[in-house]
Every structure is written in structure tokens, then in C-alpha cells.
Amino acid sequence: MSLATLPSGPPSPPRAAPATPAGRLWRRVRWWLPGVIVVLLLGATSFLLTLSESQERAALQDQLITDSLWVRQSLQFQLEREAEALSLIAADVGAGQLGRAALEARLQVFLRRGRESLEVVLLDKGAPSLAVLAHDTASAGLDPFSAVPSAVLEGALARATREGEPVFGPPFATPWGAALVLVAPVKAGSPRFLVAVYWLERVLEEMVPWTFAQSHEVTIGDVTGTVRARRASAGRGRGVYTHQVPLEVAGTTLLLGTNSLRGPPDWITNTIRGGTVALALLLFWSLWALWRDVQRRVAAETRLREEVAFRRAMGDSAVIGLRARDLDGRVTFVNPAFCRMVGLPEESLVGRGPPMPYWTPELMDEYRRRVDQVLSGQASSAPFETVFRRADGTRFPVVIYDAPLRDGDGRQVGWMSSILDVTEEKQAEERERLQQERLQAAGRLATMGEMASSLAHELNQPLGAITSYLAGSLNLIERGGASADDLAPALAKASQQAQRAGQVIRRVHEFVRKREPQRAAVDPTRLLEDCRALAELQARRTGTRVSVEVDPATPAILGDAVMLEQVLLNLSRNGIEAMAEVDPGRRVLVMSARPGEGGGACLAVRDHGTGIPPEAAARLFSPFFTTKPDGMGMGLSICRSIVEAHGARLAFVAMDLGTEFRIQFPPP
């Protein structure tokens, strides 16, 4: 093609293809189809709503009929029970079993069973007067029997005479409301009758359940359709759901009417309007919700990856061992700290079930029992202490905290455990225990040093006595003629003094020597007597008198006698020093034992000194706190440690004169 043949100017737009009949039809259908769909949806919605309303009306009407029949049955049963009760009383009157007083009392019980009966009279056709036997006290001022029409009464009496059974008369109007009469013959052919008058409104109040009356208007009418009594506790019925059913009682027929307080369904119009708007917005909302859901899923996945990375970093950097198990007890996760703790790699732990490679053989039963308790949910949330074994066989103590492991829906999927290696803590506790023992030994030695001079004086007496008795015996022997009977008393007394000196030395030796604590049942009387002997060595220097008081009902104490002696001697020494500046007549130290709280024993050391200053009371048991110029401040702290090691409690009480320290022990 040459240049002269190329077209000049802009190209012309393409011409539209001629429309075919099918294309024109599609364009018309495309515009009308949404409208047709909307019309069909609205029609279907209207039909469904109409059908739903019709079904709801039918269901409510059926429910009303069922409830009305149930109320009718209840009323019929209770009225028949009233007739039967009055008939039994009439039969007893006819048999001559009831006097006037007994009859009146029984009829009063009959009236008190319900508030619907107003009065009961004894009618004797052959007697000129009427006997009113019982009257409802809540209806004072009314004369129910006089309001009964003669036609109603005569008809009921005739029918009762004819049938020989109690009958109800038709309802009738009175100045105070509609009423009903019940006639019961005393016996067949007798002119005497028991006549009870019922107030129909009270019949409805007492015999129609409260729950039914709150949602329905209940009426009682006669066979002509005249409403005689009405109960509308929550207002008149709406007239939409109503039902009438005959109420057959002995001698008459009543009409029980129910009118529900429910109105016609009023939500249909709003539902149609809401459905129309919802149909228009449904498509746009669904697209927007889909887009938002995709955005949320992407954001949630991003946060999940970040959360997993964050938690993984936390687990890797934690110094506490972390271990996760599923509900079958298999390990699903361990962090590096736990792997280092047991000396095993992660791949050898994850997926493993009991028994675990870090369990010690001698504690296998304990481990299995603990695993069963945890997996069954019976284990407590308190920490659990046990021993693990490293890969090289080294044992080390651990403390385990177990907690339920739950997924995003709150369902438990396993257990998470935090494991702490408490080797250093155990070593520190052991060092502290040894230090405490050394402090206790030092305290005993210090006490022994203070008693040294008194101990020398105490031993000097038995030794001097021994010397005197032996010298006297030698003199008798040298003079000659001394027989064994002459020497026996002196030698026996010398032996007693030697035993006395030996007991003093042995008691002091037991007090100061170092040994492991020994728990045993300790007699409070013997404990205080042993302490008194040592306390008197300290008391003689200040002229203090030591007294021991023991209640015979005091129970035994479970503990270490020597350690408890140390506590009592320390408290005694403090009490003696507190009385150093008071009047000599007040220098009395009382060591007592009595039953304490909860069935345990209570040991007490009381002085009559100057008391404890208020500013020192709060810090009295603190280590290195002392009110003495040359004190170390460890005595009471050690005493409290010893007492608490026995499961007991050490406290002090300010008295009128002095202070009393009390040691409360638990039951042995």
C-alpha cells in the first residue's frame, strides 16, 4: 500500500451492530429482573409472615383451651372436695357423734381452709329458729344466709333430699356480690341440713392459680351466659383469645370463661418494613462484610505470627523451665532452660510420655501418682516439690507449678508447668539451719557462762556436805568401835549429796552439748521442774524467787526438751533481769503450764518487772534489737525460731505488773 492510499484524519467510530430480537429482550429483562425478584421476595415474605401469624394465633388459642380445661378441672375438684368435706361433717351430726361445741369447732376448721366459704348454718325444717354454727370472721357485717333467695334454697333442699347427697344451688346475686349455696343433708329423710354459703369472687381468688390469673381474665356465669363473678388481677382481657367451658358441679352447671390479656401480633408490619430495607441492603452489606472479614483474617494471621515469635522468644530467654503436656501426659513443648536443667535436648523430650527420662528410679510411684492427679484435674494449685535427675545422673531438687493450658475457645487442651531449680535455695536453707544451730549453741554457752558462778556455789554445798559426812565417818572409825549401822546414815547422806552434784553437772552438760533435735512427748511438769533448777542458779544473784504452776489438765507437748529448756531459760533470764530494779518483794518469776487454745498446751513465763516500753514492743523479736546495754539482740529471735520450728507461737502480754511471755503449742 502506498502513502497516498492511507486514510487521513481521525478514525471513524465503529458502527454498532444491528440489535437482534434476543438482544432487545435481554436488555428489557435485565432492567425488570431485579424488580421481579424484589416483588417475589416481598410476596414470599408477606406470605410467610401471614402464615406465621396464623400459626401463632392457633397455637395461643390451643394453649388457652388447654389452660382453661386445666383450671376447670382444678375448680371442679376443689368444689367437689368442699361438698365431700361438708357431707362428712353432716354424716357425723346425723350419727350423733358431734355435740354443739364440737360441731362448731369442726366447722370453723372447715371455714379456715379457704376464704371462699362465708357461713355454715344448721337448717331444721321442723324447728322455728335457724342455728348459725360458723361464720367467717373476715366477713363481719354480712348476713350471707339471709341473702339466699328462697327459690334457690328450696330447690337445693329438694334436690339434696331427693338424691341424699350434697348439692350446689345455682349462682345468685347478693348486695356484696354473687354467691353459691351448698346443701348437705344430715341423713336420709332427715329435715335437718348443713347449708354453706360461698362467695364466687373469693372462689376465683382462692381456687384459680395466681400465675394463670396474671395473664387471663377469669369469669364464672350461669347457664344463661350471665357473668356472676370475675377475676381480673392484671386487667380486662383483650378479647382476642377467649374460651368458655361448662363447669359441672354437684347439682348445678356453671360456665367458666377465660379471656387472655394477649393482643393480636403487632410485629408483622414492622417485620415487613424491616425485611424490605434488609433486602435492599443485604447485598452491599454482604460484600462489605466479606471484605472486612478478609482484612481481619490477614491482620489476625499477622498478629498470630508475631505472637508466636514473641512467645517463642520469651520461652527461649526465660531462666525458669517451662514444660507443656497434652491431656494424655505427652510433652508438647519445652524451653531451652528446661533442657539445660535436665541435660537433655528438645527432640528427646517432645512427644515423650510417662515415664520421663529425668525421673529418679526411687520416686517412680510418686511421679506417676502426681501425673494421674494433674491429668484428672484433682491436683491442687499449690507448688509441688520433688527431685529430678540430669542426664549425668545428678539429682537436684525442683519446685513445680501446674496450671491448665487452654485454647482460644477456653477449652483445656493440656497442662503448663513451671519448674524451678531450687538447689541454691536448699543450700542456703541448710547454711541458715547450721548458722541457727551455732547461734543456739552460742546462746546456751553464754547462758552457761552467766551461770558459772552460781553453778560453783551450787556444787560447793553438796561437795562440802560430802566432805563433812566422810570426815565424821573417819573420826568414828579412828576412835574405834564404829559399826556398819553407825556409818550407814552418814555414808547414805554423802551418796545423796554426790548424786545431787552429779545431776547438776549432767543437766548442765545436756543443756550445752550440741546434738540433733529430737522430737518426743514432753511432760510439762518435768520440763518446768528441770528448768526451775537451772533458773534458780540465775535467780539467786538478785534474790528472785522462782515459782512453778502446772494445771493437771495440761496435755503433753511434742518437741525437743532441751531446745524448749533453752527457750524457757532465756525468757526466765530476761524476766529476772527485768525485776533487778524493783522492790525485792515483787521479785517473783512464775513459770506455768495450762491448757491452751485448740486443745494444745500453753507454757508461760511471767515476771513482775517494769514491763516492755511501747516503742520496743513492735521490734522485740527482730534480730539484733535489744534494750540491754550489753545485749546482742539474738535471744528472743532465736527463741521465736525454736518455737516456730515446733509449730507453736510465741507472744507476750502486758500485765498490770510486769510481762507474760506465752508459748502456744498445737495439739500433739
Nearest to 54 by CA among 43, 42, 46: 46
- Distance from C-alpha of 662 to C-alpha of 593, rounded to nearest angstrom: 10
Instruction: Report the topology of domain 312-421.
Output: Beta-Lactamase (3.30.450)
Q: What are the start and end residues of each CATH 3.30.450.20 domain in the chain?
A: 65-260, 312-421
Detail the DSSP E strand segments found in 90-176. 117-124, 131-135, 167-168, 172-174
Q: How far is CA 486 from the centre of its chain?
A: 82
Q: What are the start and end residues of each CATH 1.10.287 domain in the chain?
A: 429-515
Q: What are the start and end residues of each CATH 3.30.565.10 domain in the chain?
A: 519-668
What does the pLDDT look like over 569-624, one tens digit per residue? 888 888 888 888 888 888 899 999 999 887 789 999 999 888 877 777 666 766 55
User: Which residue is associated with the grid cell 491431656?
Assistant: 327
Contacts of 178 (CB under 8 A, 6+ apart): 171, 172, 199, 200, 201, 220, 228, 229
- Distance from C-alpha of 395 to C-alpha of 422, rounded to nearest angstrom: 12
> Which range has the worst mean pLDDT, 445-459, 519-533, 608-622, 625-639?
445-459
- Give the residues across from 260 on adjacent strands: 216
Q: How far is CA 7 from the centre of its chain?
A: 99
Does CATH place domain 65-260 in 3.30.450.20? Answer: yes
Segment (H or E) for 247 = strand 242-249
Does residue 10 surpass a pLDDT of 60? no
Does residue 653 surpass a pLDDT of 80? yes
Find out whether the peptide bond into 355 is cis, omega within 30 degrees of 0. Answer: yes
Please list, residue by residue across 293-331, b when 16 or more beta carbons sit within 10 angstroms of its beta carbon and e when fewer do: eeeeeeeeeeeeeeeeeeeeeebeeeeebbbbbeeebeb
> Which pairs with CB-CB distance under 8 Å and at least 24 residues apart come from 132-139?
133/103, 133/104, 133/107, 133/194, 134/104, 134/107, 134/108, 134/110, 135/111, 136/111, 139/199
Share of the chain above pLDDT 70, in %: 70
Q: At 348, is the secondary structure helix, strand, or coil?
A: helix
CATH of 519-668, one of 3.30.565.10, 3.40.50.1460, 3.20.20.150, 3.30.930.10: 3.30.565.10
The pLDDT of 247-261, averaged and rounded, is 85
Cell numbers representing residue 451 in the block: 551461770
What does the pLDDT look like over 165-198, one tens digit per residue? 899 988 988 888 888 888 988 887 778 888 888 8
By CB atoms closer than 10 A (0-12, 13-18, 19+), residue 390 is middle
Nearest to 413 by CA among 333, 358, 349, 357: 333
Does CATH place domain 429-515 in 1.10.3470? Answer: no
- Distance from C-alpha of 42 to C-alpha of 47, rounded to nearest angstrom: 8
Segment (H or E) for 268 = helix 268-317
User: Which residue is associated with the grid cell 502480754?
Assistant: 653
- Distance from C-alpha of 569 to C-alpha of 507, rounded to nearest angstrom: 13
Nearest to 235 by CA among 256, 261, 211, 273: 261
Cα torsion angle, 556, 558, 563, 568, sign: negative
Does residue 371 surpass a pLDDT of 60? yes
Cell numbers representing residue 384 in the block: 509441688
Phi and psi dihedrals of 450, rounded to 5? -70, -30
Q: At 357, is the secondary structure helix, strand, or coil?
A: coil
Res 475: pLDDT? 67
The pLDDT of 615-638, averaged and rounded, is 61
What does the pLDDT look like over 82-116, one tens digit per residue? 888 888 888 888 787 877 788 878 888 887 776 67
Res 448: pLDDT? 57
Q: How does DSSP assign 11-71, residue by residue?
A: PPPPPPPPPPHHHHHHHHHHHHHHHHHHHHHHHHHHHHHHHHHHHHHHHHHHHHHHHHHHH
Instruction: Say which amino acid occupies 548.
Output: V
